Structure 1
Amino acid sequence: MQIFLLHRSSIVMLLVLMLTTILPIGCQRASYAEVDVIPVTGQLSVQGTPAHGAYLTFHPRGDVGMSKGNVPFARVLPDGTFQVTTYDTNDGIPQGRYAVTLYWPLDPDARGPSPDRLQGRFSRPEAPAFEAVVDETTTQLGPWDIK
């Protein structure tokens, strides 16, 4: 009986040791950032009205250093402002040139697909709504207004 208890306590100690060394590794926040980003905000309106709920997608024109498929984007708030996200919420965008496409859902709070108020006119990188150049001094894009 003494051998079993010793053996059992050894197993428990081994499990505790494993959990205290392995668990923190699994709980560390992964760094997805490949290149540094510049925090950038902006403002978007359509005929002077804030484009609440519109989505802006920033398509790199050339190599900006991202290889994992991250595509910077932003969602326009009710006041027409936006902050660009690449890796983490509102973290910013890598330096470079971008074609900016625009999708403005009819229902900005829809949980599924919603028709584009702009009927896809600015949804292709080949015919973008805007061009953006981001460098180390850029903090603001726009204000942009679609007529």
Structure 2
Amino acid sequence: MSAERLSSRGMSALCGLLSIVLVCGCGKSKPWDKVVPVKGAVTYKGKPVKDAELAFFPVVEEGFPESVRPWAKTSENGEFAVSTYNNGDGAPTGRYKVTVIHHEIVISGGSMGSKPNDLPKKYASKDSTDLVIDVAEGETTLPPFELK
């Protein structure tokens, strides 16, 4: 019976040790663990773009997980607040390429659909966009993205 008790105690100690390692982690935090507030606006031909969808792609992607992709959606007046983990929480610091698309929603015959992207095509891909931003420590208010 003492061998069973030792085995049981040994397992309890091992589980406790593993729990501590999992809770404390194995090193320092990753750069994408912390986000900072980022705000901005989108205009096209001088007018605010409502319901545009923005995606932020790190310029240096090495080591940056694909599951961490800041995004935003513009309001009625074209303004947005970037989200990464929670609505409006911001983005990790770093340099980003920004894509912007807009699909007008249409309702026809009781069905809802969307029209094709109605913004210039170059803003739809991270390979062709010329929108590049820097997110630094503290709150970042971006100059408006004036799409042409």
Tell me, yes or no, whether TM beats 0.5. Answer: yes
Any idea what SS the aligned residue of 2:92 has?
coil
Q: Does 1:50 align with 2:10?
A: no
Name 2:131's counterpart in structure 1: 130
- Which residue of structure 1 lines up, in the alignment, with residue 83 of structure 2? 85
Aligned residue-pair number: 115
- Stretches of structure 2 lacking an aligned partner (at least 5 in a row): 1-30
After TM superposition, give the deviation of residue 129 of structure 1 in Å.
Answer: 4.5
Assess, with a 3 A threshold, how the Cα gap between structure 1 residues 114 and 62 changes in structure 2: closer, same or farther. Answer: same
Name the TM-score, length of structure 2 as normaliser: 0.68
In 1, distance between residues paired with 2:113 and 2:34? 32
Provide TM-score, normalisation by structure 1. 0.68
1:119 CA drift (Å) = 5.3
| C-alpha RMSD over aligned residues | 2.6
Task: Report Cα offsets for 1:100-133 as digits up to 9, x if no partner.
Answer: 0111112289965431002533111111141011
Note the alpha carbon deviations across 1:49-104, whole angstroms, 9 max, x for none: 11101011001111486425121110010011000010111100000110101111
Identity %: 30
Secondary structure of the residue aligned to 2:76 is: coil
Distance in 1 separating the partners of 2:112 and 2:59? 31
Give 2:37's aligned residue: 39
Q: How many Å separate the matches in 2 of 1:108 and 1:133?
A: 35
